[in-house]
């Protein structure tokens, strides 16, 4: 019996009782609180009806509808959840806010945030429906169109992405290289187009616009290296260092390499030729020195940085996963140990 009372005085017990009381109070508030009349539009009702709601969403909805807290505070709270990666909670708040009586401007803002929340959480179809809902009442909303393009791109529905792009160009009057990028991705994903057709499409694109250099030469060096060298843009040498580093020796064009200082250093460091003895770049200079000493167990590895937002990635990208900029990739070379030789156990 004594033991029971000692546990009763435990601080943890107090905390449990406190949360129990909070829980009970929120339920009392749920059952007995005054219901505010909701004046949501029919479209929003239909929109919300598309998604299943859980019990916890109902609880948040009642808090959002019955609590005196302002919309701005709820949006701030939802944004905080979003920054923590708790998209489930932020989406619950947005959905609850949409069920409240709000003016059209607030509904539009919340729908945009809801769409972005679903997009970040990976619910692409729900995100698409949210942005389409925005566009239904506010067709000239660039943010909604921009995200629709991203969604269609993720789903590889490039025809729809290009249609949304046309609408965005009408509003903004410019597209940068985004339209070209979508057209290139559409061509590359077309199963009916041959490798030669794709290669010539990319060459024409680069010749006319001098954009998407990384995407164009990545494909060409992988599938048509002779065309890649024929149309090679020497000004891209440093940017394409990782792609060039992986080109097999039999596909190298030593005439072009001999005319370019960076390429001479890069391929001398790789051991494919001996056209250069030193380099201003530490990594290449070190590799050349090591090779002269007979050490071939060092190589280069690459990381990638976005030229716009400076996010670093271990994988190459054509559209930055963080800021969604296109063709903003820059490669960073670092020295590393050659792993292949140690792991080569086939012989």
Residues that bind Zn ion (CB under 5 A): 306, 308-309, 320, 322-323, 325
Give the whole-angstrom CA distance, residue 107 versus residue 104: 5
- Rounded to 5 degrees, φ, ψ at 319 are -125, 125
As measured in angstroms, the least distance from the Cβ of 88 to Zn ion is 26
Q: Which residues of 42-73 are buried (b: 16+ CB within 10 A; e: fewer)?
A: eebeebbeeeeeeeebebbbbbbbeeeeeeee
As measured in angstroms, the least distance from the Cβ of 131 to Zn ion is 21
**SS3 (DSSP) at 323:** coil
Nearer to Zn ion, 54 or 143 (CB): 143
As measured in angstroms, the least distance from the Cβ of 214 to Zn ion is 14
Please count the residues of the chain: 347
Residue 238 in contact with residue 263, Cβ under 8 Å?
Answer: no
Nearer to Zn ion, 183 or 308 (CB): 308
281: left (phi over 0), alpha (psi -120 to 50) or beta: beta
Nearer to Zn ion, 292 or 310 (CB): 310
Nearer to Zn ion, 180 or 306 (CB): 306
Q: What is the residue whose two structure tokens read 């070209």? A: 180
As measured in angstroms, the least distance from the Cβ of 311 to Zn ion is 5
Nearer to Zn ion, 193 or 305 (CB): 305
Burial of 235 (0-12, 13-18, 19+ CB in 10 A): exposed
Residue 226 in contact with residue 283, Cβ under 8 Å?
Answer: no
Q: Which secondary-structure segment (H or E) carries 144?
A: helix 142-154
HSE, side-chain direction, 13 A CA sphere, residue 135: 18
Nearer to Zn ion, 283 or 327 (CB): 327
As measured in angstroms, the least distance from the Cβ of 326 to Zn ion is 10
**SS3 (DSSP) at 234:** helix
Nearer to Zn ion, 285 or 303 (CB): 303
**DSSP secondary structure letters along 191-225:** TTS-HHHHHHHHHHHHHHH---HHHHHHHHHHH-H
As measured in angstroms, the least distance from the Cβ of 257 to Zn ion is 31
Nearer to Zn ion, 240 or 306 (CB): 306
As measured in angstroms, the least distance from the Cβ of 331 to Zn ion is 14
As measured in angstroms, the least distance from the Cβ of 185 to Zn ion is 18
């Amino acid at each position: 019996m004594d033991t029971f009372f000692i546990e009763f005085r435990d601080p943890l017990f107090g905390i449990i009782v406190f949360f129990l009381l909070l829980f009970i109070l929120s339920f009392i508030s749920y059952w007995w609180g005054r219901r505010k009349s909701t004046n949501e539009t029919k479209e929003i009702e239909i929109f919300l009806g598309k998604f299943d709601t859980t019990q916890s969403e109902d609880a948040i909805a009642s808090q959002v509808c019955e609590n005196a807290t302002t919309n701005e505070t709820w949006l701030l709270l939802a944004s905080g959840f979003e920054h923590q990666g708790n998209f489930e909670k932020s989406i619950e708040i947005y959905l609850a806010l949409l069920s409240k009586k709000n003016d059209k401007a607030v509904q539009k803002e919340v729908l945009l945030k809801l769409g972005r929340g679903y997009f970040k959480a990976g619910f692409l179809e729900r995100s698409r429906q949210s942005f389409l809902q925005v566009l239904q009442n506010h067709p000239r909303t660039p943010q909604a169109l921009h995200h629709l393009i991203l969604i269609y791109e993720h789903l590889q529905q490039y025809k729809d992405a290009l249609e949304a792009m046309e609408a965005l160009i009408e509003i903004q009057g410019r597209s940068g290289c985004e339209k070209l990028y979508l057209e290139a991705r559409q061509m590359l994903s077309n199963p009916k187009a041959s490798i030669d057709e794709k290669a010539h499409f990319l060459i024409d694109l680069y010749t006319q616009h001098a954009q998407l250099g990384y995407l164009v030469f990545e494909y060409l060096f992988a599938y048509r290296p002779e065309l890649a060298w024929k149309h090679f843009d020497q000004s891209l040498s440093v940017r394409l260092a990782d792609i060039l580093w992986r080109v097999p020796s039999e596909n190298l064009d030593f005439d072009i390499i001999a005319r370019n200082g960076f390429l001479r250093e890069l391929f001398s460091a790789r051991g494919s030729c001996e056209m250069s003895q030193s380099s201003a770049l530490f990594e290449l200079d070190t590799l050349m020195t090591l090779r002269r000493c007979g050490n071939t167990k060092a190589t280069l590895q690459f990381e990638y940085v976005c030229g716009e937002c400076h996010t670093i990635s271990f994988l190459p990208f054509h559209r930055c996963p963080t800021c969604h900029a296109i063709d903003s990739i820059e490669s960073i070379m670092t020295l590393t140990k050659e792993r292949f030789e140690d792991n080569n156990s086939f012989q």
